[in-house]
Structure 1
Amino acid sequence: MRGVIEELDADGMGVLKAGRREIHIPFTSPGDVVEVKRWRRRKRKLIAVDFEVVQPSDERVEPRCPHFGTCGGCLLQHLPYGRQIEFKEDKLSRILGMSVNVKPSPVIYGHRNRIDVVISTKGIGFRKRGTWWDVVDIEECPVFGKTSAKVLRSLREFIGDHKPGLYEIGKNEGFLRYIVMREGKFTGELMVNLVTSEGTLPEDFPSYFDYADSIYWSVNRTKSDVSYGEIEKFWKLEFTRERLGDVVYLIHPNSFFQTNSHSAVILLEEVSKRVDGERVLDLYSGVGTFGVYLAKRGLNVEGIEANPFAVEMANRNVEINGVDATFRVGSDRGVGDLSGYDTVVLDPPRSGLHPKLIKKILKDKPESIVYVSCNPNTLAENLGKLSEGYSVEDAVGIDMFPHTPHVETVVKLKPKV
């Protein structure tokens, strides 16, 4: 089947229309002439798995990464960055039913402060797009930066010297499973975290990464294919640090932190300017990313987070920044009276707000809500339910994820009169 890509879908794939049939094709651009030889059905979509761009669109640019087109990490490197922003604005406008401007990332390569690299018998790198069992072997990740090449060289040297078992995906066999890199883009501090199955790590392992500020060994004792585990041991610093604006945050291997530090500064500024009053509830507060930043501006902040370890990290961040804020363990289903807060900041997981919390918000009617979302679909659903008592005052997108179809959104809501 041959035809011209007319548009991109919400997932960033080109759409080829043939009668009533639509085939979704990764790594393509509007204007591309494509030949599709084979496709398969996935989640009610027809996805091309064997195709060729026979005549590229004039819009395309040369991707910086040599693995573009096979690696599952980036989907849009072939589009000019301005076109990526337009795509995300169109996506948000379609899903949310309103015009939303997207603020671009100040840096579009070397912007990611974390990457999780698979160590397997298939290779050392990232999952091949469309598979869970295959790996694209890489030497460097351009969206993380030059440090990735240094760490991966050291890892391969360690493997060459000690011949440890590499993980066999699907069989739950082998010792080395992941190496996770975290880098403070504004502090320059580097953390290397080796994730293994249960076993013995050679004593000289840290010497291969002596340039890192923090070196961790984590053990995943489960069959789950995840890039974290129980902390077995660490060398040098217990935490690395990142600075966003005038706030310093401690980074731990098992902490969630915004993956684009450059855009995270913009995100914090956009949230801060939408906060009204003095008393703020930071719900789904994590390590205090928003709450500590707002407390630095003199606001009275209380944070609630379900993960006890994240709460511990948030309170450490309060201490090192010398601010007045309190973070505690709690559930989004059991929050107290919300009416006493001037602003409630919401940053839920991709699944969105719990229905009980939505009912609680509509009942208590806090004076202002700032909703931060990485999933426009669940955001749209939640806004629809909140519209019983709230109206959207404004919204802005922030590109936290260049070269991917993902986008962060900040929405301010006020009670209806």
Structure 2
Amino acid sequence: MAIEGTVRKLNEDGLGVVKTGRRRILVPFSAPGDRVRIEKTRKKKRKLIAERFEVIEPSPMRKEPECRYFGRCGGCLLQHLDYGDQLEFKKSKLSSILNENVDVIPSPKIFGHRNRIDVVISTKGIGFRRYGTWWDVVDIEWCPVFGRSSKRVLKSLREFIEDHDVSLYEIGKNEGFLRYIVIREGKFTGELMVNLVTAPGKLPEDFPEYFAYADSLYWSVNRTPSDVSYGEIERFWGGEFIREELDGTLYLIHPNSFFQTNSYGAVELLREVAKRVDGERVLDLYSGVGTFGVYLAKRGFRVEGIEINPFAVKMANRNAELNGVNASFRVGADRDVESLRAYDTVIVDPPRAGLHPKLVERLVQNGPEQLVYVSCNPKTLARDLDKLKRVYTVSDIIGLDMFPHTPHVEAVVELKRQ
């Protein structure tokens, strides 16, 4: 039996909430005020999610999305909302979770801002996972969130497939040669990298000819049963890296490097972090490829960075050398850091799981005068802040929209030791 109801609000994950009696149904791609008819639902982690539904009376908040794949592709949930309404949603989300009044800085661009997309190459299509599935793919011509160069790359890929007898990924069976194509672009340099990820096998020799316009072209091989968009580097053509420039600081980008996916938002993020750094000596924890550390060193700070990934440390030191700055990075785990009081400011930018409990205790017992916490997960941030507030005062919090059209939001928190 079909269920009709009105979407009252969006939950923290950007899904519309419809209440019918005791039931609470979550409706993707909906807006507050939408009247919906729900034909079918599915359960996910004790939540009831609308799987087949229609909007019978649209909300005044709803607008026409710019992407033709919206509503099927799982990449964007909020494109049907005006950008101002998206920011209000994120402001409300951050303020509620952190129990603070938090403003959110908008992304300077809301289309063409992503500098990386991982596109599935499968028998179902070439594109992104259909929302709510791992087994189905929405076939796309290009991605407006990434920009026009995605159209050129995907056109070249289809020409390559048409000209050669190569098998495509059979999702669920772990069969097929071509698996992913990862496109990366320096938004401020214009440099383009294409990385084809395959299963073990033989790549046709003329593959590079189809992407002669790319500054860097890679072939990576995934030798594991995992469905992932990276692998061992088999070969590359052109440059070993592409470069991105953020506010006058250069960074080398490699296929296996993590880098902030919104270059324009990353500039705002760097500036907000730099504003909150005091003193001379800075420790950059979870330093990655040196995004914060190299930027700060270019502004006169003496920076040391610690990162558990050896390859990221190697890239961070190369980025420091490229910029000619006083910054050094070494391999280490967050929980093993000693002498935190030796630094004027410590920056932490942990993964979504948040800070290791041992590091939180070490910060409480012997932390620096100034702590800057960068977070992509408000819930684990709130958990960690609750413990840090035993000895630290939160002097400032700001949100940044690094991920337009999604429910995700970044936060920067400045803490001072009491």
TM-score by length of 2: 0.99
Matching residue of 1:278:
280
Matching residue of 2:221:
219
Matching residue of 1:321:
323
Match of 1:36, SS state, is strand
- What is the CA–CA distance in structure 2 between the aligned matches of 1:234 and 1:256, rounded to whole Å? 19
1:392 to 385, 391, 394: 394
Query: Displacement, 1:388?
Result: 1.3
Q: How many residues align?
A: 416
Matching residue of 1:97:
99
- Asked if 1:118 is matched to 2:120, the reply is yes
- What is the CA–CA distance in structure 2 between the aligned matches of 1:40 and 1:227, rounded to whole Å? 28
- Asked if 1:171 is matched to 2:173, the reply is yes
After TM superposition, the structure 1 = structure 2 runs for residues 372-391 of structure 1, keeping only pairs within 5 Å, are 372-391=374-393
What residue identity is the alignment partner of 1:319?
E
Query: Displacement, 1:340?
Result: 1.0
What do the CA deviations read for 1:251-300 (whole angstroms, capped 9, x no partner)?
Answer: 00000000000000000000000001110000000000000000000001
Matching residue of 2:182:
180
After TM superposition, the structure 1 = structure 2 runs for residues 123-134 of structure 1, keeping only pairs within 5 Å, are 123-134=125-136
Matching residue of 1:81:
83
- What is the CA–CA distance in structure 2 between the aligned matches of 1:369 and 1:35, rounded to whole Å? 49
Match of 1:111, SS state, is coil
After TM superposition, the structure 1 = structure 2 runs for residues 11-410 of structure 1, keeping only pairs within 5 Å, are 11-410=13-412
Match of 2:282, SS state, is strand
Query: Displacement, 1:363?
Result: 1.0
- What is the CA–CA distance in structure 1 between the aligned matches of 2:133 and 2:165, rounded to whole Å? 27
Root-mean-square deviation over aligned CA pairs: 0.6
- What is the CA–CA distance in structure 2 between the aligned matches of 1:210 and 1:358, rounded to whole Å? 49
- What is the CA–CA distance in structure 1 between the aligned matches of 2:188 and 2:283, rounded to whole Å? 28
Query: Displacement, 1:145?
Result: 0.5
Query: Displacement, 1:412?
Result: 0.5
Match of 2:144, SS state, is coil
1:413 to 388, 404, 415: 415
What residue identity is the alignment partner of 2:8?
E
- What is the CA–CA distance in structure 2 between the aligned matches of 1:24 and 1:39, rounded to whole Å? 9
- What is the CA–CA distance in structure 1 between the aligned matches of 2:367 and 2:124, rounded to whole Å? 54
Match of 2:335, SS state, is coil
Query: Displacement, 1:365?
Result: 2.4
What residue identity is the alignment partner of 1:3?
G
TM-score by length of 1: 0.99
Query: Displacement, 1:19?
Result: 2.2
Match of 1:382, SS state, is helix
Q: Which runs of 5+ in 1 are unaligned?
A: none
What residue identity is the alignment partner of 1:384?
D
Query: Displacement, 1:44?
Result: 2.2
Match of 1:187, SS state, is coil
Match of 2:182, SS state, is strand
- What is the CA–CA distance in structure 1 between the aligned matches of 2:115 and 2:296, rounded to whole Å? 22
Query: Displacement, 1:85?
Result: 0.3
Q: Which runs of 5+ in 2 are unaligned?
A: none
Query: Displacement, 1:414?
Result: 0.9
Match of 1:333, SS state, is helix
Query: Displacement, 1:163?
Result: 2.1
Query: Displacement, 1:58?
Result: 1.2
What residue identity is the alignment partner of 1:201?
L
What residue identity is the alignment partner of 1:276?
D
Query: Displacement, 1:215?
Result: 0.1
